[in-house]
Structure 1
Amino acid sequence: CDICDYATNMKYYLKKHVLIHNEAKDFKCSICNYGTNIKSRFKSHFLTHNSSKNFKCDICDYATNMKYYLKKHVLIHNEAKDFKCSICNYGTNIKSRFKSHFLTHNSSKNFKCDICD
């Protein structure tokens, strides 16, 4: 990408990525101020406003209107925690959650604001 550091070996992905830099948002939500240039992202966003939550967890009260989110949620009930913190007793099955958790132990803040700091 000529605008940011994004890189890919697929032309299709680069074309989709460049759309995020376009200030004119072709798809605007009529319920909130969300806007995007990517139709599939807009459809996913719009579903979040749907009040009927047809996908329900069998273990707890969690409910969602998207099957994908239910599948990710069910992972938290799995007893085998694939990602375990070596500093505390935190464990999770979701790699992105583990990465976010592990950053909480990092006392040095590598990313600083150029204006404030």
Structure 2
Amino acid sequence: MVISAEARCPYCEAAHAAALRLRTKDPVLVDRLAVNYRHVELSHQDKVMLDFAVKLTHTPEACDGRDVARLREAGFTDVDILHIVEVTAVFNYNVRPATATGLFPNPEYHQLGRAAVKEN
């Protein structure tokens, strides 16, 4: 969700937000993550992971051993770090064709995982 928001990909943002709302059952959290994860109360480990994923998204050439050391200090294993890198890379890859082709999700995605409003 955060990578999709950082990349400003409309399809990815809507699709990943829907999936995260369904998983977390917390649409407010997902909306806040979509706006700016830096203003969401997260665990230290989640913040370190997201800071790294965003750095890898925006400035991959600036990533170095200090970033890996921060991830390890936050409790991630080398296998975890590889998964973080791979998932971030795949999401960044998928953003390109979706954005380049103007892909938008079906309207239903915007309502998935949101409580229905009861009419009086």
TM-score for both structures, normalised by structure 1: 0.29
TM-score for both structures, normalised by structure 2: 0.29
* Relative contact order, higher structure (CA 8 A, sep 6+): 2
Q: Which has the larger radius of gyration?
A: 1
Give the number of the structure whose residues are more often strand, by fraction: 1
